[in-house]
Amino acid sequence: MQVAAQAQGRQGMDWAGLGWLFLFFWYFSGVTHLLIQLTGTSGFENFRQALLMSAIWLIPVLLFPAKARAIAGTIGVVLWLCSLIGLGYFCIYGQQFSQSVIFIMFESNMAESSEYFAQYFAWWMVPVYLVYSLGAWLLWKRVRPLRFSRKQALVLSLALFVGVLVYPLAKQIHKRPTLAQAFEKFEARVEPAVPWQLVVGYRKYLEQLNDMQSLLADNAKIPPLQNMRDQHAGLPSTLVLVLGESTNRQRMSLYGYPRTTTPKLDKLREQLAVFDNVVTPRPYTIEALQQVLTFADEQNPDAYLTTPSIMNMMKQAGYKTYWITNQQTMTKRNTMLTTFSKQADEQVYLNNNLNQDARQYDGDVLAPFTKVLAEAAPRKLIIIHLLGTHMSYKYRYPAEFDQFTDRQGVPEWVTDDQLPTYNSYDNAVLYNDFVVSSLIEQFAATKPNGFLLYLSDHGEAVFDSPEGSVLGRNEGKPTAPMYTIPFMLWTSAQWQTANPGSSPTDYSAQLSRPYSSANLIHTWADLAGLSFAELDRSKSLVSADFKVRPLLIGDPYQPKSLIDFSLIKPKVAAPAKPAELALK
């Protein structure tokens, strides 16, 4: 009799019914994430998190099995409605829905919003939504009251609650110094699943919007530059600043790298002033650009909060300013970037992916750049912020640029395990060459009166030295590739005529000057023909008054950590050891 009772208990555990129920709940997050995996748009982490979070909806059905279909149907309708937004957005834009999309929707005016929704609800989405909804309905039809004993249902529910919610949150609380940081990390776990994609996204949007508005309000209070004069006042001109990302000049054939990673820029070389001794002060985007775009530097790191930016400066000089970016728009990390962009008169945001580790191509900037060039404003500053060669490198270039696939030209210390990453970085540099050269060619085609300056925010170490198998960036363990950046200037024929001494050959004596991009605003003002009380021409790379200074790198909030870049020494390490992953 005991054996019979045990057999009956085993028969009462309805694992098939539980499986169909889980598949129903997972469907609303899973279809979009499955498409993301199949198209290689992003990594596996979000897929995994959506899978785990879908299990939480099993609990109410386990606790009230008699109302299984009603409960599943009610929850399913909510999940279905929320999932339509993310699915539709991915189908049209090939990106994951995020708070960046919410930001753009709410920051757009009515005309822009109408245009957005007109594109969003494309006709072909109707059959897509119908097929998708049919799949959800068919799965719901398989839902049935689960045959678990009350004790079994309670144990399973408790296990799900602890495993999916309590344990991950407790783990973060244990690992993080504050409860706020722990909750932030926990949010990142739940965000890939619906409906948290919308709930968490909207909460993050409000938080980051508040931070940005506070920074913009402070920026509006900054007094203008004193005694500004413009030698080109009243004359039409277009100036372009292209900000690269994670690009180490040592991996560019333009700078002598043996692989031909910059064939298009190589052909344009005679039209370019290629500066070969420029370094970034910091190996991280936000921290570097706080100095690059303002009067802040390693000795005055907070000056970006109290002094005008390049955007402020050019607006004061009478330029209409534009910011075109392929960086993520609205994340906690990127709030400062969005704040810089909002200092411009007009913005174009192209990258609304939930994670940076997602497929996104910089070629997207070419169309809006053409559009801005055609605008009637007589004086324009156009800033283009690329995603460049940021990790993961394989997501930075389309298939036709996957040209470096073997060991030809690869240093012997690069191991077989490191080779795919090494090659994908070179392919990313190759595609970056296409984008930057295309921007120059588009600009030149308009026969402008102006110039285009390109530099990267920082470099990237990608197994560049036999002394250490380093991948990424780590300010605590600096290596040269993290700081050496490309820096090149293209000037139009009209600009050269109006500004004697501004042709590429005229800069030959300045090309090897040791220079930190922390002082870019002084060089930019000098190139643009601006003068004001705060300008220090000894910090201008192209000025006759240039003064050689130590190239300080490191965390300026820990002054003892600052060192002169020239003092960086190779560190001996076995090249076959696992790569040392740095902070992004």
Closest CA to 304 of 487, 538, 454, 521: 521
Q: Which of 19-23, 42-46, 279-283, 318-322 comes out lowest in average pLDDT? A: 42-46
Span 435-454, mean pLDDT? 98
Output the pLDDT for position 405: 96
For residues 363 and 431, what is the distance between their CA atoms, to the nearest angstrom?
9
Put the strands of the sheet holding 470-472 in their side by side order. 461-462, 470-472, 580-581
| Top-confidence residue, 567 or 95 | 567
| Top-confidence residue, 265 or 51 | 265
Span 498-518, mean pLDDT? 95
- The model carries a pTM of 0.76
Output the pLDDT for position 335: 77
Asked if residue 109 has pLDDT above 90, the reply is no
* Contact by Cβ (8 Å): 392, 445: no
Query: Which structural domains are found in the chain, ordered by start?
Result: 2-195 (no CATH), 222-581 (3.40.720.10)
For residues 541 and 551, what is the distance between their CA atoms, to the nearest angstrom?
13
pLDDT digits (tens, 9 = 90+) for 455-467: 999 999 999 988 7
For residues 512 and 456, what is the distance between their CA atoms, to the nearest angstrom?
17
* Contact by Cβ (8 Å): 414, 463: yes
Q: Where are the beta strands (DSSP E) in 49-151?
A: none
Residue type, 544: A
How high is the mean pLDDT of the chain?
88
**Torsion sign across C-alpha atoms 522, 526, 528, 532:** positive
Span 229-233, mean pLDDT? 94
Span 536-546, mean pLDDT? 97
Query: How is 572-584 classified by DSSP, letter by letter?
Result: ---TTSPPEE---
Report CA 284 to chain centroid distance, whole Å.
12
Query: Angle at Cα 239 formed by Cα 362 and Cα 236, nearest 5°?
Result: 135
- 218-to-207, 433, 483 alpha-carbon distances in Å: 17, 37, 30
Residue type, 509: A
Q: What percentage of the chain's residues is helix, strand, coil (to nearest 5)?
A: 50, 10, 35
Question: How is residue 42 written in tokens?
Answer: 């992003």
Residue 498 main-chain phi, psi, to 5 deg: -80, -20
Residue 81: CB atoms within 10 Å: 13
- Among all chains, which residue has been given the structure tokens 């530099």? 455
Question: How is residue 36 written in tokens?
Answer: 């993301």
For residues 531 and 312, what is the distance between their CA atoms, to the nearest angstrom?
14
* Greatest Cα-to-Cα distance within the chain, rounded to the nearest angstrom: 104
pLDDT digits (tens, 9 = 90+) for 402-434: 999 999 999 999 999 999 999 999 999 999 999
Asked if residue 187 has pLDDT above 80, the reply is yes
